[in-house]
Amino acid sequence: MDFPEDLFYTKSHEWVKKEGNNKVRVGITSHAQSELGDVVYVELPDLDRIVKAGGACTVVESVKAAYEIYSPVSGKVLKTNNDLENNPQLVNEDPYGKGWFFIIEIEDPQELTKLLSNKDYEELCQAK
Amino acid sequence: MTDNDKKTPLYDVHVDLRAKIADYYHFLMPLQYSGIISEHRCVRNNAGLFDISHMGEIVIEGEGATELVQKIITNDISNLPDYKAAYSPICDEEGGILDDIIVFKYNLKKYMLVVNCGNTKKVNKWINEFKTDKVNVNDESDIISLLAVQGPKSEEIIRLVCGDECAGLSRFQFKEITVDEMQLTVSRTGYTGEDGFEIFVDNSHCVDLWNILLEKGKDMDLKPAGLGARDTLRLEAGYLLYGYDIDEFITPLEAGLSWTVKFNKTDFIGKDSLLRLKKYGLKRMFVAFKMHDKGIPRTDNEIIHNNNVVGKVTSGTFSPSLEIGIGFGYVLKRFAEHKSRVKIKIRGTDYPAQIVDTPFIETPLRRSHNQNKV
- Looking at the structure, tell me whether residues B276 and B328 fall in a common domain: yes
Residue B2 reports pLDDT greater than 70: no
Percent of chain B with pLDDT over 70: 96
Rounded mean pLDDT of B195-204? 98
B156-164: Cβ within 8 A, 24+ apart = B156/B220, B157/B47, B157/B213, B157/B216, B157/B217, B157/B220, B157/B222, B158/B186, B158/B197, B160/B216, B160/B217, B161/B212, B161/B213, B161/B216, B161/B217, B162/B186, B162/B199
Q: Residue B37: its chain A contacts at CB < 8 A?
A: 38, 40, 63
Identify the domain containing residue B248 by its residue range.
Answer: 238-356
Asked whether the beta carbons of B176 and B182 are under 8 A apart, the reply is: no
* Residue A21 placed within a domain: yes
Asked whether the beta carbons of A15 and A29 are under 8 A apart, the reply is: yes
Residue B118: partners with Cβ closer than 8 Å, 6 or more residues away: B25, B242, B243
* Residue A104 placed within a domain: yes
Asked if the C-beta of B296 comes within 8 angstroms of chain A's C-beta atoms, the answer is yes
Predicted confidence at residue B283, as pLDDT, reads 92
Rounded mean pLDDT of A83-102? 96
Instruction: Give the one of A43, A63, A66 whose C-beta lies nearest to B36's C-beta.
Output: A63
- Distance to chain B for A7, nearest Cα, Å: 27
Predicted confidence at residue A56, as pLDDT, reads 93
Residue B1 reports pLDDT greater than 60: no
* Contact: A41, B232; criterion CB under 8 Å: no
pLDDT in tens, B352-373: 999 999 999 987 775 554 443 3
- Looking at the structure, tell me whether residues B319 and B346 fall in a common domain: yes
Count how many domains chain B has.
3
Predicted confidence at residue A97, as pLDDT, reads 97
- Looking at the structure, tell me whether residues B37 and B77 fall in a common domain: no
Q: Residue A68: its chain B contacts at CB < 8 A?
A: none
pLDDT in tens, B17-64: 999 999 999 999 999 999 999 999 999 999 999 999 999 999 999 999
CA gap B269, B254 in Å, rounded: 17
Asked if the C-beta of A68 comes within 8 angstroms of chain B's C-beta atoms, the answer is no
- Looking at the structure, tell me whether residues B33 and B148 fall in a common domain: yes
* Contact: A63, B232; criterion CB under 8 Å: yes
- Looking at the structure, tell me whether residues B36 and B67 fall in a common domain: no
Q: What is the DSSP secondary-structure string of A35-67?
A: HH-SEEEEEPPPTT-EE-TT-EEEEEEESS-EE
* Residue B370 placed within a domain: no
Rounded mean pLDDT of B344-350? 96
Average pLDDT, chain B: 95
* Residue B366 placed within a domain: no
* Contact: B296, A37; criterion CB under 8 Å: no
- What's the pLDDT band for A6 if we cut at 50, 70, 90? very high
> What is the domain-level CATH number for residue B39?
3.30.1360.120
Instruction: Give the one of A38, A43, A59 whose C-beta lies nearest to B36's C-beta.
Output: A38
A43 to chain B: closest CA residue: B295
Predicted confidence at residue B372, as pLDDT, reads 38
Predicted confidence at residue B319, as pLDDT, reads 98
Asked if the C-beta of B320 comes within 8 angstroms of chain A's C-beta atoms, the answer is yes
* Contact: A63, B347; criterion CB under 8 Å: no
- Looking at the structure, tell me whether residues B130 and B179 fall in a common domain: no
- Residue to substitute from A39, A40, A86, A92, interface B, most B β-carbons within 10 A: A40
Percent of chain B with pLDDT over 90: 93
Asked if the C-beta of B21 comes within 8 angstroms of chain A's C-beta atoms, the answer is no
> What is the domain-level CATH number for residue B94?
3.30.70.1400
> What is the domain-level CATH number for residue B262?
2.40.30.110
Rounded mean pLDDT of A84-110? 96
Rounded mean pLDDT of A68-94? 96
Encode A60-71: b = buried (16+ Cβ within 10 Å), e = exposed.
bbbbbeebebbb
- Looking at the structure, tell me whether residues B45 and B78 fall in a common domain: no
Rounded mean pLDDT of B86-114? 98
- Looking at the structure, tell me whether residues B163 and B62 fall in a common domain: no
> What is the domain-level CATH number for residue A100?
2.40.50.100
Predicted confidence at residue B371, as pLDDT, reads 43
CA gap B226, B32 in Å, rounded: 4
- Looking at the structure, tell me whether residues B181 and B213 fall in a common domain: yes
- Looking at the structure, tell me whether residues B151 and B269 fall in a common domain: no
pLDDT in tens, B206-234: 999 999 999 999 999 999 999 999 999 99
Report the relative pairing of strands B144-150 and B135-139 from DSSP bridges.
unpaired
Residue A2 reports pLDDT greater than 90: no
* Residue A3 placed within a domain: no
- What's the pLDDT band for B5 if we cut at 50, 70, 90? confident
* Residue A1 placed within a domain: no
Predicted confidence at residue B365, as pLDDT, reads 74
Count how many domains chain A has.
1
* Residue B363 placed within a domain: no
- Looking at the structure, tell me whether residues B167 and B43 fall in a common domain: yes
Identify the domain containing residue A119 by its residue range.
Answer: 8-127
- Looking at the structure, tell me whether residues B262 and B308 fall in a common domain: yes
Asked if the C-beta of A47 comes within 8 angstroms of chain B's C-beta atoms, the answer is no
B323 to chain A: closest CA residue: A40
Q: Among B212, B236, B260, identify where a domain stops.
A: B236
pLDDT in tens, B166-192: 999 999 999 999 999 999 999 999 999
CA dihedral B249, B254, B259, B263 (to 10 degrees): 70
- Residue to substitute from B36, B41, B43, B326, interface A, most A β-carbons within 10 A: B36
